[in-house]
Amino acid sequence: MGNNVPSVAGGSGTEELLRELLDKDEPALEPTPPERAVELYLEDKRRDCRQSTVDAHRSRLAFFVRWCDEQGIDDLSDLTGKDLHEYRVWRRADLNAVSEKTQMDTLRVFVEWCETIDAVRPGLFKKVTSPSLSDGENASETVIHVDRAEDVLAYLAKYEYATTEHVTWLILVETGMRMGAARALDVDDFRCNAAQPHLDIVHRPESETPIKNGARGERRVGLSPGACEVIDDYLTDQRPDVTDCYDRKPLLATPHGRVAKSTIRKYVYKWSRPCMVGAECPHDRDPAGCEAATELDRESKCPSSVTPHPIRRGYITHLSRNRWRLM
């Protein structure tokens, strides 16, 4: 019986045989540019996911495509674990831990999918690492970075266009103003027809809308043409026709009058939850059974939800990194 079993003599012969066997087991990889792979992935994703989820994945993977282009990686079959680590280091410069995890988890899913079309080496997805978050780690998060805020605005622009909630987020993200200043705005403080479109922040303590630093805090904050268009549409079609108890017309209004600070806070808690804008939960929770996703007034229980001030900090951080000054 032993004479019928082939044997390999010598260490070098064994190594050659093992290499041959491994080569036979590995599939032949198909040359695939990163951009094309993302297109195919999104087409496949669209069959089983909401469009908002597809859009969120497209937004995150766009950074990976851009990085590959900058690194001269035009074929995913050349992608290595070292490349994936370098991408994570590059990407984390603009992200907090929660956003980094969301981005890298999406990349891992994408790289694993790429195996199904023989675009990457088998098992490469296991080398995509992301931060481990303890439950509640992000409850005291101090910054919402630009990419995360833009994901929220993109979702609101598509599904909640020109609502009070959309305009509230837009003003906070675009101007970096404090919650109290946003609440203090009147319709007449919106100057879209000025030479430089802007919002006037005015200290009016006599009618219960003081701003931080009093009269010294009064200023103009510029607005982009896109923001002006959204606010114009809000004023034309969506803003409730109300005044406050001082006969002023609040810019941010509900059917009951000027928004309360608690209402602005609720808007921010609500839309800073990743699941609300089509993103995967970074805390491994099932939204269907998560109290923060399903129970009224429990939005703040999501570890990723934040108060309005981190939006301002994210705005300031973005300006600082681009060497601009906050007016």
| Sequence ranges of the domains in the chain | 34-130, 146-321
Residue 236 class from Cβ within 10 Å (0-12 exposed, 13-18 middle, 19+ buried)?
exposed
What mean pLDDT is predicted for residues 36-64?
A: 89
Model pLDDT, residue 326: 40
Model pLDDT, residue 14: 64
The Cα 115–Cα 135 span in angstroms is 32
The Cα 171–Cα 164 span in angstroms is 11
| Residues present in the chain in total | 327
Q: What does the block give as tokens for 272?
A: 């800073």
Model pLDDT, residue 153: 94
Average pLDDT of the chain, as a whole number: 86
| pLDDT class of 32 with cuts at 50, 70, 90 | very high
| pLDDT class of 54 with cuts at 50, 70, 90 | confident
Architecture of 146-321 per CATH? Orthogonal Bundle (1.10)
- pTM score: 0.58
What mean pLDDT is predicted for residues 251-256?
A: 97
Model pLDDT, residue 27: 63
Model pLDDT, residue 138: 47
The Cα 326–Cα 192 span in angstroms is 21
What mean pLDDT is predicted for residues 241-263?
A: 96
Model pLDDT, residue 184: 97
Question: Would you say residue 323 has pLDDT above 60?
Answer: no
pLDDT tens digits, one per residue of 221-241: 999 999 999 999 999 999 999
Question: Would you say residue 206 has pLDDT above 90?
Answer: yes
| pLDDT class of 320 with cuts at 50, 70, 90 | low
Question: Would you say residue 23 has pLDDT above 80?
Answer: no
Question: Would you say residue 9 has pLDDT above 50?
Answer: no
Q: Which is more confident, 22 or 261?
A: 261
Question: Would you say residue 19 has pLDDT above 70?
Answer: no
Question: Would you say residue 141 has pLDDT above 60?
Answer: no
Model pLDDT, residue 134: 53
Q: What does the block give as tokens for 208?
A: 């219960």
Which residues have CB under 8 Å from 108's CB, separation 6+?
A: 125, 128, 130
Within a 10 A sphere around the Cβ of 299, how many other Cβ atoms?
21
Model pLDDT, residue 287: 85
Q: Which of 283, 274, 216, 224 is nearest to 60 (CA)?
A: 274
Do residues 318 and 183 lie in contact, with contact meaning Cβ atoms separated by under 8 Å? no
Q: E strands, 136-246, where? A: 190-191, 198-201, 219-222
Architecture of 34-130 per CATH? Orthogonal Bundle (1.10)
